[in-house]
Amino acid sequence: MSAPTTASMTATRLAPEGAPVGIGVVGLGVIGRRMLEQAAQRTDLRVVGAWDIDPAACDRARADFPSVPIADSPDSLFADPAVHVAYVGTPPAHHREYALMAAARGLRLFCEKPLTARLDEAHRLVDELRALGTPNAVNFVFASAPAAEHLARRLRDGAVGRPRAVDIRLFFARWPRDWQAGAVWLRERDQGGFVREVLSHFVYLCLKLFGDCRLCGGAVSWPADPAACERAAVATLDCGGVPVTVSAAAGGWGPDEVVFTLRGERGALRLTDWYQASESDGSAWQAVSVPGGALPDPRTAAYQAQLAALAAFARGAVHGLPDAAEALRVQSVIEGLLALPAAAPAR
C-alpha cells in the first residue's frame, strides 16, 4: 500500500445529524434544473447553492428557483460550509475539472454520466478520486428507478428462468430530442451523441443485472460532417454470458423508441420508454404496475428514488448508486463502440 499523501487525507464534509444534506449544483441546464426541481420536493436534501458558466442560465435559475442562491464562482460555491455534496451537471468535457475542484474542498461528489468526455480522462479521474479518498457516485438513474429494480427482482426471483438474450432498441426522430434541443454539445461528436447519452444507461443496466458487460463487435454510421455525432449504431455485447444486441438510430419518421427486452427460458421482461415495465409468458406483452413506480409519474418516481439513494450516499450510509469506477466500465463499452472503424458515411 502506498504512503498517504496530503491529498489522500482529504476529509469529507458531512451534514449534521438530522439536518438536510446540502447540495451545491454546477451546471444549470436541463439536468441541473431537474435537480433543483426534484430536490425541492424533499426534506432530506437541499440545494444550498448553484452556479453556471452562462450568466443567462444563472438568471433563469434565479427567476425560477428564488430560494436557491446563485454563487459568484464554482470555487466559492464549493467553499461554502453548507455544501456537503457537489453535483456536477455540466456537459461531460467539464466533469473532471469540477469533480477535482469539489474533491479538493473535501466534498462528496455526485457526477453526471458519462463520467468524462474521453476515456483516458475517465481513467485518470477514477485514479485521482481514489487517491484523494473522495466518496463519489454517478447519476445512472437505473440504479434506483423502481422499474429497473422490479426487473432485477423478477430476474433474481427466477420469474423468467435463466436469461437467454437481451435486445436494446433506440430510435430518436430528432437528435437531440426536443427537450434537450438547446444542448448544442449533444449533437457534436467529441462529447455528444445518443450512444453516450442514452445507450450508456442501458449498458449500466446490463452491468447491474449481469455483473459484467463487454463489447464484442459493432458498427457506427457517421455523417459526412466530421464534427457531428453518430447517425446509427449496432453492437453486440456479452454481459455475464448473456448476448445483448443493440440497434440505435436517429433521424427519420415515426415515434421515438427506447425499448429494453430481456428474454429468459420461461418468459420475457421489458422496459419501454425507460420506465414502463411489461412481461410476457409467450403471449402478448402485459403491462406491469411497479410498486412505487407510478406516482406521480414514473420519471419523477425514478428521480425521487435516486435522490433518496443520494441522501444515503451523502450520509455515508448504504446506497445503491454506482461509483466512478463502475461508470468507467460503462464508458469503456461506449467509447469502444464509438472507436470502431467507421462504416461508410451515411447520406
Ligand X SMILES: NC(=O)c1ccc[n+]([C@@H]2O[C@H](COP(=O)([O-])OP(=O)(O)OC[C@H]3O[C@@H](n4cnc5c(N)ncnc54)[C@H](O)[C@@H]3O)[C@@H](O)[C@H]2O)c1
Among 20, 22, 49, 89, binds ligand X (CB under 6 A): 89
| Least gap, CB of 113 to ligand X (angstroms) | 6
Among 90-98, 150-158, 203-211, 227-235, the segment contacting ligand X (CB under 6 A) = 90-98
* Radius of gyration, alpha carbons of the chain: 20
| Least gap, CB of 52 to ligand X (angstroms) | 5
Smaller CB distance to ligand X: residue 89 or 163? 89
Q: List the alpha helices (DSSP H) in the chain.
A: 30-39, 55-64, 74-79, 95-104, 119-132, 146-156, 194, 200-210, 298-314, 324-338
Among 197, 279, 323, 335, binds ligand X (CB under 6 A): 197
| Least gap, CB of 227 to ligand X (angstroms) | 17
User: What is the grid cell recorded at 322?
Assistant: 454506482
Among 84, 94, 105, 270, binds ligand X (CB under 6 A): 94
| Least gap, CB of 135 to ligand X (angstroms) | 19
Angle at 113 between CA 293 and CA 191, to 5 degrees: 135
313 contact partners, CB below 8 Å, separation of at least 6: 85, 108, 110, 135, 137, 319, 321
Smaller CB distance to ligand X: residue 145 or 259? 145
Smaller CB distance to ligand X: residue 22 or 92? 92
Rounded to whole angstroms, the Cα distance separating 229 from 203 reads: 19
Among 92, 135, 163, 293, binds ligand X (CB under 6 A): 92
Residue 30 CA, distance from chain mean position: 13
Among 12, 90, 261, 304, binds ligand X (CB under 6 A): 90
| Least gap, CB of 196 to ligand X (angstroms) | 7
Binding pattern to ligand X, positions 121-160, x when CB under 6 A?
Answer: ------------------x-x-------------------
Q: Assess 91 for contact with ligand X (CB under 6 A).
A: yes
User: What is the grid cell recorded at 343?
Assistant: 462504416
User: What is the grid cell recorded at 179?
Assistant: 427537450
103 contact partners, CB below 8 Å, separation of at least 6: 10, 109, 128, 129, 132, 134
Smaller CB distance to ligand X: residue 98 or 222? 98
Rounded to whole angstroms, the Cα distance separating 50 from 229 reads: 30
Count of residues of this chain found to bind ligand X when the rule CB under 6 A is applied: 24
Residues numbered 6 to 65 that lie near ligand X (CB under 6 A) are 26-32, 52-54, 57
Smaller CB distance to ligand X: residue 180 or 276? 180
229 contact partners, CB below 8 Å, separation of at least 6: 175, 186, 187, 188, 189, 192, 193, 194
**Which residue do the cell numbers 442560465 mark?**
57
End-to-end CA distance of the chain: 54
Binding site for ligand X (CB under 6 A): 26-32, 52-54, 57, 89-92, 94, 112-113, 139, 141, 180, 182-183, 197
